[in-house]
Structure 1
Amino acid sequence: MSAAKVMIVDDSFFSRTLLAETLQLGGCEVVGEADSFDSLIETYNNCQPDIVTMDIVMPGTDGFECSRALLMNDPSAKIILVSSMKDEETEAEARRTGIAGYVQKPVDGEYLSNIIKNILSPDTLFEELIESAPGIFNEALSQNITRMTKTPVSFESMDTFDNNYVSQGITTVIGIIGRYSGSMILDLSSEAAEQIVEVLLHRPSKNHEEVLAMVAELANIIAGVACSMLNKKDKSYSLRVSPPSVFFSSSSEIASPNLKIQASYAQTTFGPVFLGIGFKKGAASWI
């Protein structure tokens, strides 16, 4: 295995020098350094590192903002937070941001080397999740719409997720947490949602809030059933869903810059339903 290429982000020259020495002693190659947000993206694109070490305290910003910018630039960027500060709040923020590891200063070279190896090692469990999740979420959607409305569902696959996809009217986003984090996107027209409500309640909807509540609950059921099926497949996934967020607009675009979304269309009696699912590797190692 070739030496891991590492980029160091820290506003302190001494800290960068000390960390570079530690990394080189551990068999890594330091390919770039950045001391501010302004030089971050250009340096990253020029040196194309395998790993980025990120200090929390930066002039005019912080390591979380820098990390979010890096992940917007390259969703596959692998970032290790290196800081003298470590508490539950900063650790939770690091996980939400998508940071792969968190090491406290003073850095132990052996620990840091192990984290880098773990992050860069092939993750067969993640690859299995990426391969099986879309089909399982499709199955969960099909089963539940068919069971609840007594109508058939078929699927039209979409090879790639188009970031310019425009919402049909109602979009629900479900966050997924566990060994890997992810999101499920469910999108359908207001007319389709109203028809589903009428079938389920045996009457027209009373108001728009009732329709939105139904869509949120439907998305929650689909995501929950799919995660249960995946956990049954491998309990180490430990997947669970977060409360749904519902957006109503017939002109909004659906985009997911930090996740590679695998999408499909469910053809239903009520109209097409867009279903997107994506996962990313969460925190690989935390010290």
Structure 2
Amino acid sequence: MKKKQWQGWGPDEQAEQHYLVQPRALAGGGDVRHVSEFLRASGWRDKSKTGGLLFMENPDRTVRVAYDPSVLPGGWTIHGQADGPNGEWSAHLGPQTPVEIVAGLTDTLTRARSAHAPNVWAPLQEQHWHARFEGEHYMATCPDGTAWMQYRRDADGSVMWWSGAKDQQGNGWTAHFSPNTPMHLVQAFAAKLASPDPVMRPRGRVPHSAQIRTWSVSVKPSQLRAWQQSRITAARATAWARNSARSTRPRTTAHPHTPAGGARTRR
């Protein structure tokens, strides 16, 4: 285990031990506030109950994000209502899905959709995942084999996206996305899944697995708060820009009424 020391703090705070964990897919669930605080700062309604289910709803009440570890199988449920030609959709992610990967999907829900056509496989290919057909399914696995992304086509004709991670001891998680899940959301999830960057976990919250690598780091509470605040600030800035664009959008005005027999100007 390697050890790193963060520099530049004042003398009044006591550093706390944390760990950087790779691969991120096996880092464990993490703090759900990584997801919820970003959504709240983006203007989502928090309908959670104290000590119970996390439940958040977007401003126009068309998408809901919930987290419930108390039921089986538990974990994350993201649900979107039908929108014009797009049908109702849902995604379910196990409780041990790292929050940084969940946020790949949920953060994207707060932003305008890109004009570029989404490609779920692109971020996986960039990280040298191995892609192949397995019968009717198309599968991509990470270089060490611990995480996967699969497009499933079953014998009854049903299709879905299926993903997850598992170590040699069988510890891990799975996620699945309904066929109507917008592809740009699945791509955002895949990008965070494939990212080689480690994620941070406090002491006592690192899974016991022979397939993870850890680095011990000393972090002061003010540093953690600063990192969290920068994420919240970014969410608020995006929400402000979105709301400003809506408020300055020109309104359509009705044409003035022309009395009967009155002259009309042709264009």
TM-score range, shorter chain: under 0.3
**TM-score, normalised on structure 2?**
0.26
**TM-score, normalised on structure 1?**
0.24
Is the helix fraction higher in 1 or 2?
A: 1
Q: Name the structure, 1 or 2, with higher relative contact order (CA <8 Å, separation 6+).
A: 2
